Amino acid sequence: MIKTRTWLIIISIIFIVSSAVSFFLYRWNTAGTVANVYLDGDCIYSVDLLSVSEAYSKTIICKDGGVNVLRIEHGRICVESADCKDHVCVDTGWIVNSSMPIVCLPHRLVIKIEKETSDGNVTMDSVVK
Amino acid sequence: MKKAEIRKKAYGLAVCLFAFLLSACSGLSVRNRQERTLFAMDTVMSLCVYGSSSDLDASENLIKSIEKQLSVTDSQSDIHKLNESGTFSVSSEVHELIEKALDMCEQTDGALDITIYPVVKAWGFTTGEYRIPESSELNGLLNMVDYSKVKLSEGKGVSLEKGMELDLGSVAKGYTGDRLMLLLKEQGVKSALVNLGGNVQTLGRKPDGSLWRIAIADPDDISSYLGYVEIEDKAVVTSGAYQRNFEESGKKYHHIIDPQTGYPASNGLKSVTVIGESGFECDALSTALFVMGLERSIDFCNNNDSIDAILVADNGMVYITKGLENIFVIQNGASVKVILK
């Protein structure tokens, strides 16, 4: 017959393991700062911005032949230059979190940060503009 | 086995089960988040649904089917056929939408006019081939702009006067947002957020029970925020001079055309954000209030209890309706004045 103390130990272990699993799942879904680049809805490139130690540029050739040059630094990403008509993508500047994507409508290119670190700042679910 | 021991074991088992379910549920709620980004209606749309991928498939199909009906450029769309022939029997959904849009044109005293398309085309906003039309050209085109001349007949018939063209672009995204919310509700989804090219619409609250926090772009620097609102089951739509524009000889020209003048509206406002339950209404009114300008917009808001609005004046002053007093949080340090209601 198992004593009450043994039961308590078993319950505690299960509770700790459950909490650890729960915490891991939460962190797994929120930690990191991954920028995903979409072309016409398809993800064509991903980069974990927190793992970038040296800044670099990346050229994206879009489906219509248009060119967007991305600049990638530790924790942030922007469109450095583009041959689109309106340059809205370049004017958007750097993005550092998921609240605002960079969009190049003429080239049907979208850059979104989809997982970010929780640094205590107010985070937004979406942006109207 | 004694009764007391059995009770203890049962109690222990219950605690274990509770702890396990708790951890499992917390994992599931995060994993059910489904997102998709697509290009439709000449803009980029992102859908976030706490449900299944089939909810996203259904949403995407709905967006594409509405686009097919309302597009002014697709030769197979109801609107294109109507513009081409002047008289056309549209689908019942399109007929109902035109009726609602005309009602909104009436309510806003023509500040919203769904027949402005020929003028917008002349400025090149539909093609990206921007130009400044001559005033004589604009005057000629303005003769064809008058929503009251759109005739709806019994059944599904719609007719336009010669030279007139209809465009539902000013309400299409808001209407699509409403239809998406209905669809997702029918699918059993409790929590969703869609951003249709800057128009945000939400279903319910976030899965953790908190409100959706929606930032409003600062019209002076769209990469930062003017502030944010916290909402549930509502749409948030902004119209601003910064959204689609071109520059010539150092002057900027934006795409929100004043139906009275044929020129980009310039009536004392930098941006207008409308918050309400109907995406259609928010979409229509954000454009209409921007055209009306500051004074008329304040009057309009004071006479219409159902809408809440944030008006950013040219001098940087931010006006909000009373309903937003505890919902809107300013972030750019601007002065906020509450409009009496």
Residue B237: closest C-alpha in chain A: A128
pLDDT in tens, B189-206: 999 999 998 899 999 999
Q: Write down the pLDDT at residue B223.
A: 73
Q: Choose among B329, B303, B306: nearest CA to B318.
A: B329
**A105, B42: Cβ pair inside 8 Å?**
yes
Name which residue leads in pLDDT, B2 or B116.
B116
**B213, A41: Cβ pair inside 8 Å?**
no
Q: Choose among B313, B270, B307, B321: nearest CA to B295.
A: B313
Q: Write down the pLDDT at residue B119.
A: 96
Q: Write down the pLDDT at residue A99.
A: 76
pLDDT in tens, B271-324: 999 999 999 999 999 999 999 999 999 999 999 888 899 999 999 999 999 999
Place of tokens 């959706």: B212
Q: If DSSP codes are grouped into helix, strand and coil, which group holds residue A72?
A: strand
pLDDT at B242 over 90: no
Minimal Cβ distance to A125: which of B12, B44, B212? B212
Tell me which DSSP letter residue B30 carries: H
A5/B contact by beta carbon, under 8 A: no
How far is CA B139 from its chain centroid? 30
Q: Which residues of B touch A68 (CB under 8 A)?
A: none
A41/B contact by beta carbon, under 8 A: yes
Q: Letter for the amino acid at B66?
A: I
Minimal Cβ distance to B223: which of A8, A11, A93? A93
Q: pLDDT class for B136, splitting at 50, 70, 90?
A: very high
Q: Write down the pLDDT at residue A1.
A: 60
Lowest mean pLDDT of A77-86, B17-26, B38-47, B115-124, name the range.
Answer: B17-26
The percent helix, strand, coil of chain A (3-state, each to 5) is: 25, 35, 35
For B84, the token pair is 């081409």
Q: Letter for the amino acid at A110?
A: V
Range list of β-strands (E), B108-211: 151-152, 157-159, 192-196, 199-203
Q: How many interface pairs between A and B have CB atoms less than 8 angstroms apart?
A: 125
The parts of chain A modelled with pLDDT lower than 70 are: 1-2, 22-32, 63, 115-123
Q: Write down the pLDDT at residue B204.
A: 97
pLDDT in tens, B165-178: 999 999 999 999 99
For B241, the token pair is 């001079």
Are A7 and B9 contacting, i.e. CB atoms less than 8 angstroms apart?
Answer: yes
A14/B contact by beta carbon, under 8 A: yes
Average per-residue pLDDT for chain B:
89
Q: Write down the pLDDT at residue A32.
A: 54
Are B80 and B72 contacting, i.e. CB atoms less than 8 angstroms apart?
Answer: yes
Place of tokens 């670099």: A56
Q: Write down the pLDDT at residue B196.
A: 94
Name which residue leads in pLDDT, A32 or B32.
B32
Are B149 and B102 contacting, i.e. CB atoms less than 8 angstroms apart?
Answer: no
Q: Choose among B219, B256, B246, B236: nearest CA to B332.
A: B219
Q: Over range B62-66, report the average pLDDT.
A: 96
Roughly how many angstroms between the first and final C-alpha of chain B, as a whole number?
Answer: 72
Alpha-helical regions (H) of B133-268? 135-142, 169-186
Q: Over range B320-334, report the average pLDDT.
A: 88
- Angle (nearest 5°) at CA B266 between B264 and B272: 100
Place of tokens 């450029």: B73
**B213, A127: Cβ pair inside 8 Å?**
no
pTM, 2 dp: 0.77
Interface confidence, given as ipTM, is 0.81
A110/B contact by beta carbon, under 8 A: yes
pLDDT in tens, B247-262: 888 898 999 999 999 9
pLDDT in tens, A38-47: 888 878 888 8
pLDDT at B156 over 70: yes
Name which residue leads in pLDDT, B148 or B2.
B148
- Cα–Cα distance, B75 to B85 (Å, whole number): 12
Residue B1: closest C-alpha in chain A: A1
**A103, B44: Cβ pair inside 8 Å?**
yes
- Which long-range contacts (C-beta less than 8 Å, at least 24 apart) are formed by B97-104? B97/B70, B97/B168, B97/B171, B97/B175, B98/B150, B98/B152, B98/B158, B98/B166, B98/B168, B99/B152, B100/B171, B100/B280, B101/B168, B101/B170, B101/B171, B101/B284, B102/B147, B102/B150, B102/B152, B104/B171, B104/B281, B104/B284, B104/B285, B104/B288
Radius of gyration of chain B (CA): 24
A102-104 and B308-313 beta bridge pairing: unpaired
